Amino acid sequence: MTSELSDIDIGFNVSSDTPPGRDPDSHSPTLREYHRLLWSKPLPDGTPFTLMPSGRAHYLLHESTKGRFSLSSDAINNQHRGLLSDVYGSRAQQVNDDFCRATMTVGGYILFPGERLNRKPTINQHRGMHPRIRDRFDLTLECIRRHYTGEHSPLSETLARYVHFFALFESFTGYVEHFLLHALVDGSGQVRFFRPFDGFNPNPLPTEREDYNAYLDRQREFVTTRNAHIAAFIRSR
């Protein structure tokens, strides 16, 4: 099992140590260890943010004077094989498989609070089911940016339930820097979207093949660039 940052392989496909039919988010031991090693680092105020596995109850757990935070893994990229089955099926299977191989690496995953509060959906759950988000990570990140600036978004109520988690990073910039999300943010602190953005529209997913291909290409480029940032971070430690 990986025990040092330097052991992390940014090209490792996390589905390769996941039991058949299972989700790497919950069943890849390598992905969990990579998350633990990468994101256990000081917060903006210098407080250590140590993450530890804690049995089946908690994917990764942090406990300190800052509070108790149970975190779970979530995939950043999505081909929407169910909702967009026609356009997905119009692509060669090899192309779809290549996308999976490229994005099922550590750069394609992030941590969110994993405990339900007041019996309401988690961030993972709500961003997946909300019709104006549809599991798009770029739109989720825009919601998080607006949370920090006090602007409304489709996920405002859900993100507000986890206000103490986001407060750990002090600002949107602090959040982006902690989770190495620079590739999805421009120099002025605005989100770089996977598709042209003119607000949270009722149908945020592409329906035409050309648009769909460009959408997946941007997701793949993001993971590739984020993996490069992760590798640079590892070398700097």
Write out the two tokens for 103. Answer: 């994005």
d(CA 172, CA 178) in angstroms, rounded, equals 10
Residue 186: pLDDT band with limits 50, 70, 90:
very high
Q: Are 10 and 43 in contact (CB under 8 A)?
A: no
Report pTM. Answer: 0.96
Q: Which of 137, 131, 216 is nearest to 184 (CA)?
A: 137
Position 1 scores a pLDDT of 54
Q: Where are the domains of the chain?
A: 5-236
Cα pseudo-dihedral 31, 113, 170, 156, rounded to 10: 130
Contacts of residue 76, Cβ cutoff 8 Å, sequence gap at least 6:
103, 107, 108, 109, 110, 137, 219, 222, 223
pLDDT digits (tens, 9 = 90+) for 68-111: 999 999 999 999 989 999 999 999 999 999 999 999 999 999 99
Q: Please determine, for residue 57, whether its predicted confidence score (pLDDT) is greater than 80.
A: no
Q: What is the spatial distance between Cα 208 and Cα 197, in angstroms, rounded to a whole number?
A: 17
| pLDDT in the model for residue 63 | 96
